[in-house]
Structure 1
């Protein structure tokens, strides 16, 4: 009748993560908020607290009392609620003033001894019912200051307790309590610690933020306060997006897109993402009033944890998604009661063997929240994909049954005049950073590319339009000889991160991050995830002199072209008797100014002549041997065509063509060196001829210094690039 196909992997064990470092302990008497009415007269909370010295720093001590609980000087109530009219009606209470036995992530019991052991269990409570309730809010538990995106993100990540334990490390109201709590959020490639006190906004003894189903647990309200501090205030996170909270709490690459026709595209995304280390969070659509209530709660997140197919022969020609089943986990409550949900005729019609195959684990079955793919497409409005990197895959045992991603990260910046070339249709697009991706093997490779521009959560700044283009390299082509038109996976928008999930066959590709418009200075983070054997690296050049003409002439004087030899003889003949042995920089400048049209694209500057003298002044005499003039003339004549090619108005070349100019003049330079040359010598978007000449002289001088230092020392502490950067930027 029906055929069911599904593969399962094993669930290997993973070692426990290292515990959070304990706070240094001092003893004192616990105080409440000064002048506040105590609502916990029967609380079993210890009247003593232990904490670090910083907990009492900057706080006064009331007469007849011990050290007060810590109050955050960086996030006072006036900053948390900038609206003075709203803030006037808010009372700031600590959890033990609202509840007899407040708890936090990692502790579930009231006893002192049991609390100590529970505080060391990093996130184990998330797997039981109490642990799940801490991330779910009451039916009316979203207060006026609630951040809906944050509690929805935490509820969606409840199936990965180790990841949640990193955001909200296990802490206690009994062991080491001093009123201070620490949290971590992912902010542009690093985990930032946020410390807050436990004073929470209330009105009439009721929290104004999110209130968890587990009323005694204050993990979510305190996490919400830390999130508000990260972004500046409670109103700043009131309307945060779910994808933003998911990224801040997981550190993964997050893709967000609406579930719109065609359905085949949605099925392709699910089919590709479910087996991999990617969390899928679907948001239920708000159904019209006349629609029968089938258990789903509009706006709530549901985690897609499986995809299978029960296909009849008549459905074989209806498409790949025909007969597909989607397994969901109700992250924040609400069970599906439609077709394929328990109890249903469709589920009862399955053979016992097929129902056994639907089991996801010893205590979890597909029948808990299962629906057809057609129902899924109709009942859900949005889908977030959280691509989890390999480090977090190792950290989280719940992800071990999924295929891990391989990750490459690069923190770079677009610099005006150097590599801020703009979108693919801009004339300077080839100056953008290039990253080579080589896919090997016979199977197609799933790839995630994400470009994140630098942002500051606490500062509201206008974001740039950023994106990337993916080009396929023809067989045998050089890495920079990419095709003219990018592949259709190119993506661009005005957001803090742009990400795309696609597949590539075996071959060579180039990923080019860019900004729109061109000439935009900004830092960016590039993340490339692949699931097959692949190699990713940034295109770069080695620092080298492709042709050291000065040394060639020193070995073979005949290497000087006849027309250049004629100019050099004129220069030698014009020397005064006291200049026949050597000349200084001013005398060299006077000689070159008489014959510059044959050797240089512009009149020589004093700084250029000093750099040319330094090329052959090992004794630091400040003078150039006169017999070196033919070699110098040959070198300048060799540079001249490179400096005159591609000249624009005003005689300057585009700063974006610096790399090509240097290569034409016989110098190969790394990305860092080219950037330093532009930073040091470019004037806006132009590189004047005199500045280009000076840059070439400094590059040759750096190579000469490095060779000299390398021959004198057995182990040179400096690299060639370091020597070049020191010479150029001096």
Structure 2
């Protein structure tokens, strides 16, 4: 059973899709609106000064530096440092970053990986800012925090100690995006001090909103090389870290202990008479490289064909280097991989696969069973349980990933010693697996046979705080439905949506454990799966009333619910009408005007006249007689189905004879 707080927290805690917190409707950190604040500063001829993150040692943090050094901190704007500063010069690259005095290599390693993946980078780094146009000393950046995309506003005053950057400093002296982005992340976390030491896994999720999995390199999975190649091929973010109680100690071989790195590539390369798996890694210091086999000047490159050597080898002291997969496992402790969905687990899969995700938001309350001394029936019986069904599987591949994230209050005691985790139970509530960790995000991957399972979140402390649970499931698509909708065009929103292109998997995800769906489930499905690109979402959401109408049109049994077969017909119609809408919306406004609607009806092969067209735009359009995508779908389905109903009843004639009850039955339900 779900805990009674589940629905409440969906509305009042982490925001659901479409509410504040999506990329289309960002949550404003500290209620600061970037556009309004910049316009105000420009109108008054002032440079922005952020009172919520001031140039004060409180923004640095009390324990990062000795008190005498804290008092020596100076804050300077880029315009005071350079005659011609830029936010970005010649694009964004990991080589723009050089770590400063703060020990935030974990964040910079994730940031270095972000620069390689444009689809994620554009979410974090808005383009509507710079030093050349409308400069007012104000910038903003976006991060994903506990289910919400948050817009963080900062001023551009940067901390200096003895004339040197305290924070990350750019390789090119007048390019400032790394320093400003790092400042925004420090503000989000409370201070620069809170960046001094952290988990690379946290930063990967904060920069993408994706799911991350950690792989131990001391006890690696047997298919590590395949995971690396699949991750590189599917454009995942990747990082790695070394162990060591003494941080930033550089060994003779060039590897730094207690340090985080970016994994920037993994390839299988022809070497001598065979093949070699090699991994490319980047040091956020911006210098300091591996000196062993496959390093920049190693003899191994002499046995690689010239075209591959030229393509892969970059012989510069820029912090980036290659090493063999074997040496990678020996020198590093952990590999971190992150993407919208767990595509890095798709290696060896012979079918076209995709992943769906189920999100649950809830609250741990004092009094719920914990997992400290009772990792079995007690914790399972009283904690909230979330059910999922595995319809089929390939025993050679992973098919389920479970991610649990905690959100604790700032004043929570012993937060660093808090373990969270989950049980997976099968039939009769038998505990099959249990995972617990001290990290904020506990994620693991599984191969589960067909059946119904439950995930039971648990904690080692009897304290109240929120959690976010995401259950990712692999769905195999054998191309049974060639008209299925394409994957959404915003992969960065995957945690908020079902990404599967198979209508069967979509149906099962929203039908939960039932065999059909009602109007409320249909509304949630349409808004979370269909309205994912900007074009279709501009015209508004599917209302509950329109979803009841759509359901009635497709409901062959007239029982107020849709079966899988009935939903399949609707899915094909959605694909058809989305293509038509996209084609006719030539100015990409997200709406069709009267003439565009007329063309859309003709493209669909349906008939209309000026009188009917006027009535349709009044019934389904806005005050300007424009129709958004959601209303267009309802309108076209009704027009199409009522046209076919008339044709069936008329039998080729231009008129039909019906009793009053027959007519009322037709029009009152549909």
TM-score range, shorter chain: 0.5 to 0.7
1:206 to 164, 169, 173: 164
Partners in 1 of 2:108 and 2:463 — Cα distance?
A: 36
Q: Is this contact kept in 2: 1:439–1:445, CA < 8 A?
A: no
Match of residue 248 from structure 1: 206
Partners in 2 of 1:335 and 1:405 — Cα distance?
A: 37
Shift of 1:527: 1.4
Q: Is this contact kept in 2: 1:390–1:407, CA < 8 A?
A: no
Please show how residues 465-480 of structure 1 align to structure 2 within 5 Å: 465-473=419-427
Partners in 1 of 2:44 and 2:250 — Cα distance?
A: 61
1:307/1:485 CA distance change after superposition, 3 Å: farther
1:301/1:426 CA distance change after superposition, 3 Å: same
2:406 to 453, 457, 461: 453
SS in 2 for 1:239: coil
Match of residue 60 from structure 2: 81
Shift of 1:160: 0.9
1:275/1:95 CA distance change after superposition, 3 Å: closer
Q: Is this contact kept in 2: 1:184–1:192, CA < 8 A?
A: yes
5+ unaligned residues in a row in structure 2: which ranges?
Answer: 1-22, 27-33, 345-351, 477-504, 516-664, 666-670
Match of residue 437 from structure 2: 493
Please show how residues 108-187 of structure 1 align to structure 2 within 5 Å: 108=90, 125-126=91-92, 131-134=93-96, 136-137=97-98, 142-143=100-101, 145=102, 147-170=104-127, 171-187=129-145
SS in 2 for 1:142: coil
> Please, what TM-score do these two structures have when normalized by structure 2?
0.55
SS in 1 for 2:142: strand
Q: Does 1:425 align with 2:362?
A: no
1:305 to 244, 259, 265: 265
Partners in 2 of 1:472 and 1:20 — Cα distance?
A: 39
Shift of 1:434: 2.5
1:503/1:457 CA distance change after superposition, 3 Å: farther
> Please, what TM-score do these two structures have when normalized by structure 1?
0.50
Q: Is this contact kept in 1: 2:141–2:181, CA < 8 A?
A: yes
1:181/1:20 CA distance change after superposition, 3 Å: farther
Q: Does 1:97 align with 2:80?
A: yes
Q: Is this contact kept in 2: 1:339–1:372, CA < 8 A?
A: yes
Match of residue 649 from structure 2: none
Match of residue 328 from structure 1: 280
Shift of 1:173: 0.7
Q: Is this contact kept in 1: 2:216–2:334, CA < 8 A?
A: yes
1:347/1:169 CA distance change after superposition, 3 Å: same
Partners in 1 of 2:438 and 2:425 — Cα distance?
A: 22
Partners in 1 of 2:186 and 2:248 — Cα distance?
A: 33
1:266/1:53 CA distance change after superposition, 3 Å: closer
Match of residue 336 from structure 2: 384
Comparing both chains, which one has the higher relative contact order based on Cα–Cα distances under 8 Å and sequence gaps of 6 or more?
A: 2
Partners in 2 of 1:231 and 1:468 — Cα distance?
A: 26
After superposition, the C-alpha distances for 1:342-391 in whole angstroms (9 at most, x for unaligned) are: 665545446x5xx87x69xx955799954322211122233222233399
1:449/1:273 CA distance change after superposition, 3 Å: farther
1:100/1:391 CA distance change after superposition, 3 Å: farther
SS in 2 for 1:244: helix
Q: Is this contact kept in 2: 1:195–1:226, CA < 8 A?
A: yes
1:450/1:209 CA distance change after superposition, 3 Å: same
2:180 to 222, 239, 249: 222
SS in 1 for 2:432: coil
Shift of 1:212: 1.8
1:331/1:405 CA distance change after superposition, 3 Å: farther
Q: Is this contact kept in 2: 1:453–1:522, CA < 8 A?
A: yes
Select the structure of larger CA radius of gyration: 1
Q: Does 1:68 align with 2:46?
A: yes
1:517/1:539 CA distance change after superposition, 3 Å: farther
Count of paired positions = 432
1:101/1:531 CA distance change after superposition, 3 Å: farther
Partners in 2 of 1:466 and 1:372 — Cα distance?
A: 35
Q: Is this contact kept in 1: 2:391–2:451, CA < 8 A?
A: yes
Partners in 2 of 1:426 and 1:419 — Cα distance?
A: 10
Partners in 1 of 2:514 and 2:365 — Cα distance?
A: 18
1:160/1:98 CA distance change after superposition, 3 Å: same
Partners in 2 of 1:75 and 1:344 — Cα distance?
A: 48
1:201/1:459 CA distance change after superposition, 3 Å: farther
After superposition, the C-alpha distances for 1:519-541 in whole angstroms (9 at most, x for unaligned) are: 75443211122344365579779
Please show how residues 596-611 of structure 1 align to structure 2 within 5 Å: none
5+ unaligned residues in a row in structure 1: which ranges?
Answer: 1-17, 22-50, 109-124, 316-322, 393-401, 474-480, 543-713, 715-730
Match of residue 595 from structure 2: none
Q: Is this contact kept in 2: 1:56–1:70, CA < 8 A?
A: no
Partners in 2 of 1:390 and 1:213 — Cα distance?
A: 33
Shift of 1:153: 1.9
Please show how residues 487-566 of structure 1 align to structure 2 within 5 Å: 487=433, 490-504=434-448, 506-517=449-460, 521-533=464-476
Shift of 1:412: 2.8
RMSD value, Cα? 4.5
Partners in 1 of 2:336 and 2:343 — Cα distance?
A: 21
2:392 to 440, 445, 454: 440
Shift of 1:341: 4.8
Shift of 1:415: 5.0
Partners in 2 of 1:158 and 1:67 — Cα distance?
A: 34
Shift of 1:438: 0.9
